[in-house]
A and B are shown apart, each in its own frame.
Chain A
Amino acid sequence: MNSLSRRRFLKITGATFGAAVAVSSLSEVVKGAEKVEVKTGKKVKGIQKIPTYCDICFWKCGAIAYLKDGELWKIEGNPDDPLSEGRLCPRGTGGIGAHFDDSRLKAPLIRKGPRGSEEFVQVTWDEALNYIAEKMKKIKSDFGPEAMVLFSHGVGGNFLKHLMHAYGTPNDTAPSFAQCRGPREVGFELTFGDVIGSPERTDLRNSKCIVLIGSHLGENMHNTQVQEFSEAIEKGATIITVDPRFSVAAGKAKYYLPIKPGTDMALLLAWMNVLVTEELYNKKFIEKYAYGFEQFQYEIAQYTPEWAYIETTIDPEVIRETAREMARYMPATLIHPGRHTSWYGDDAQRSRAIALLNALMGNWGKKGGFYNPTSVNIPKYPYPAYPKSEKGAADNPNHKYPFAEGEKLSTGLREATLTEKPYPIKGWFVYGTNLTQALPNTQETINAIQKLDLMVVCDVVPSEIAGYADVVLPESVYVERYDDLNNPLFREGFVSLRQPVVDSPNDQKPNWWIAKKLADKLGLQEYFPWKDVEEYLDTRLRSAGLSLPQLKEKGVIRAPKGKIYFDEDEEIEFYTSTGKVEFYSHKLKDAGFDPIPKYTKPEEPPAGYFRLLFGRSPVHTFSKTQSNRFLSGLMDENEVWLNYDIAKRMGIKNGDYIKLKNQDGIVSNKVKVKATERIRTDCVYMVHGFGQRSKMYRQTFNKGASDSQLITKYKMDPLMGGTGMNVNFVTIDWEA
């Protein structure tokens, strides 16, 4: 979030719980009861329910864990939680499997073989943390605190982030920006002066026309999104799905546009061309709020549907018809901004085109478009100020990527580690993110690691990246630990709690404990003044007029619902430099970029090659759920989708195993073929997260193929440093 959105954030977080606590009622009384009787130390007989929130992905759905005779039985959605509304996604329902997973890390480990050899000795927590603290002290004295980097993903990283900032490094990052939603946030910020955020501010529930271009909702199971998508379908919304693959969402669509991969921009421009030339756009909104509309109108005139047909292979009449369909329902038409948007290297501009198309609908702050998210203010813990870094962050030297503001570039920090520019990086602390699969070009990641003096991985399973660590720290899974509060911007303000439901089976520890212990050993006690996490949480909650015991019982406390749409004639303030929706961007122009988005042709696959596309499965999250028995029971390997006719021509049958080879000669694991009519002939598709090569992670070893392994090439987004990853081509490796 840059300064502009921060300003906006402060403005909208003025709300407080007020009467919320009194009005918030539970449909069923949920008790955070003791699971072990204090007097006898025995497990409590019968059924108990304890509210918490899910961590199988980052969506943070409110859940209720059920214990039967003191043992974890099942997890359901918490009906009082506005994210889950009482229903979890399959991964959340299967969350119990994370606790029972026997491939979990069980004790701290210190490396004894070379990095990547996966040879470790088991040590005590004290030994592990002493080792880390000594190295961190040495790194600080030899190179300065900035030489440490934290890679983390999810709310569990909060206490470690705090530790790293207290230590003095500004280099804390997550792949969720440059490898995921960064381009989208930058594209929208440049256009509307505000980001989309997570959970997305999309009012899917009330949309009358939903356009999915690069979103595979239904396979992507971000719970609230899927629930609302389904609600819109029930209410009869028109769905327009654009995808090279006949996705699940394509099956729900009135219009399915089987676009040639990499040409979304051409379609977006052509849609806008139709809306502008046929004068179908929201004139009232545009007259009032658009900046640079005339130049835009002038430029867009060249992008006719006939022109776009050549690029996209989409029938010009279908382009016209779908544009008219969008106009019919505006402002309750939503062109979904997507989430994973780092594809072709021009992604921020692509997202900007999506933002402009939405602007033509006039749907900002409108029902069925983008609502105005709200939140309640839970003050931060009153910590002492962090030491100021002299050198600043290393991810984006000289602002090479001028619009990578606020969040750090994970690939930028990898680059800094490899090149020692702008200064040497000597230690990585990796929390809950399997960098070998999350970052493109695994070899670069491995090369960077080889340059380090300290490499720490904290995770729940022995992920591939753990194999490269000097020290591996086994973390308790979410049902065994507290984490920081969940207090997002959403349709309504609320706060929810993650709390332990069962004990960790072995010597795993929660991240807050690890951070605090490490702080002690680093002499940073003043930054961890609380006795334990309960005291921390209670302090934060009390400063908002709530308390930990209250939240332990309810799991979620909601504030009264506020206004999330603008009134009909309400003046809208946009936090762009012109105060308007920027169809023409001076910021971009001044930085040397196209002020109005333009189309760049994607590179064509060489003969005999297919473009490699990847996506999500409803039963897995990244590469971290493949050993959960409930989830792997439904999918324990991925498949490569290959067009049926192509497969037939090549003599490949459905269910055959093949290997893929990419343009750089990298060969994948064996992977099962899904020969299907549901994909174009010029691309192949697989679900991300498989083909893992950690021998320590037995259940997943070599099952399916890894898209990441084949993504040796990536294209940098010159605006914000995103890594476009859909630029790799693969062929069938017949020698295999």
Chain B
Amino acid sequence: MARYGMVIDTKKCVGCQDCVIACEAENNVPEGFCRDWITTESSGKFPTIEMEIRTERCNHCTDAPCVSCCPTGASHYHDVGGVVLVTHGECIGCKACIASCPYDARYVHPEGYVDKCTFCIHRVENGKDPACVSVCPTHCMYFGDLDDPSSKVSQLLKSRKNHSLIPEAGTKPNIYYLT
């Protein structure tokens, strides 16, 4: 089975937040919330600064604590690509998943259910990239099957240095950052 993931080239990302707006429009995210966001990490003393800018979202973890802790099964792995989704109708809004997520990727939608990034599965199943990926003016984001060694994402991970976020949480995240 495919394992969908993203590879993000931090050398190209300028942190413009186009991905954030594209997601909001595509998925009708309520005002004041977001499913993806930009983190800028800098260290050092002026003028010797190291800086990484990256776009973040749900990592669609292979060992997702939000799935295992969900009392109703609303949080689940989708049968395509292992994408982690929430079935809105089954969510009781208990927020256990929010507490369990090391990436702070989830929020309570004003309509009462927990919401987050879906990898735009409605687009992916129609052969398109997620909205954030397709809109990025720097082309810094790649979406694909991490289990397919011939995919662009796998190739990039083979050829470039990369890291994931908080790997020590042990959730097996599926988003990687090229450095």
Contact = CB atoms under 8 A, between A and B. Distances in A.
A89 interface: yes
A706 interface: no
A680 B46 contact: yes
A629 B140 CA distance: 25
A231 B9 CA distance: 12
Contacts of A256: 47, 49
B49 A246 contact: yes
A251 B49 contact: yes
A230 B138 contact: yes
A223 B137 CA distance: 7
B51 A246 contact: yes
B16 A89 contact: yes
Interface stretch (A72-80, A194-202, A325-333, A445-453): A72-80
Contacts of A90: 16-18, 20-21
Interface string B11-22: 110111110111
A93 B14 contact: no
A96 interface: yes
Interface in B42-70: 42, 44-47, 49, 51-53
Contact of B14 (A231, A618, A630): A618
Interface residues of A, number: 46
A634 B137 contact: no
Interface in A595-634: 618-619, 629-631, 633-634
Nearest to B44: A677
A231 B14 CA distance: 12
Interface in A209-225: 217-219, 221, 223
B25 A221 contact: no
A99 B89 CA distance: 32
Contacts of A287: none
Contact of B16 (A246, A618, A676): A618
Given A677-B44, A678-B42, A678-B46, A74 B137 contact: no
A569 interface: no
Nearest to B25: A74
Given A73-B25, A218-B16, A677 B49 contact: yes
A312 to B, nearest CB: 13
A94 interface: yes
Contacts of B136: 87
A93 B25 contact: yes
Contacts of B22: 74, 93
Contacts of A73: 25
A568 interface: no
Nearest to A677: B46
**Size bracket, chain B contacts:** 20 to 34
A252 B49 CA distance: 11
B15 A618 contact: yes
B32 interface: yes
B31 A619 contact: no
Contacts of B21: 90, 93-94, 619, 630-631, 634
B129 to A, nearest CB: 11
Nearest to A73: B25
A616 to B, nearest CB: 11
Contacts of A223: 137
B135 interface: yes
A251 B18 contact: no
A384 B44 CA distance: 65
A221 B18 CA distance: 10
A233 B11 contact: yes
Contact of A88 (B18, B42, B51): B18
B139 interface: yes
A248 interface: yes
A223 B139 CA distance: 12
**Most A-side CB within 10 Å, residue of B15, B26, B47, B135:** B47
B1 to A, nearest CB: 30
A230 B139 contact: yes
Given A89-B137, A630-B21, A251 B16 contact: no
A226 B46 contact: no
A230 B13 CA distance: 8
A410 interface: no
A248 B53 contact: yes
A360 interface: no
Contact of B25 (A89, A226, A258, A630): A630
B3 to A, nearest CB: 25
A250 B49 contact: yes
Contacts of B20: 90, 634
Interface string A655-693: 000000000000000000000111110000000000000
Interface string A228-243: 0111011000000000
A390 to B, nearest CB: 49
Contacts of A77: 135
A633 B23 CA distance: 13
Contact of A234 (B12, B24, B45): B12
Contacts of B31: 629, 633
B18 A230 contact: no
Contacts of A74: 22, 25-26
B131 to A, nearest CB: 8
Contact of A230 (B12, B32, B44, B51): B12
B153 to A, nearest CB: 16
A618 B17 contact: yes
Nearest to A243: B47
Given A234-B12, A634-B17, 7 more contacts: A87-B137, A226-B14, A231-B139, A233-B11, A234-B9, A234-B139, A680-B46
23 contacts: A74-B22, A76-B135, A88-B137, A89-B137, A90-B18, A90-B21, A93-B18, A217-B14, A226-B137, A229-B138, A233-B12, A234-B9, A234-B12, A246-B49, A258-B47, A618-B17, A619-B21, A630-B21, A643-B46, A677-B42, A677-B49, A678-B51, A679-B46
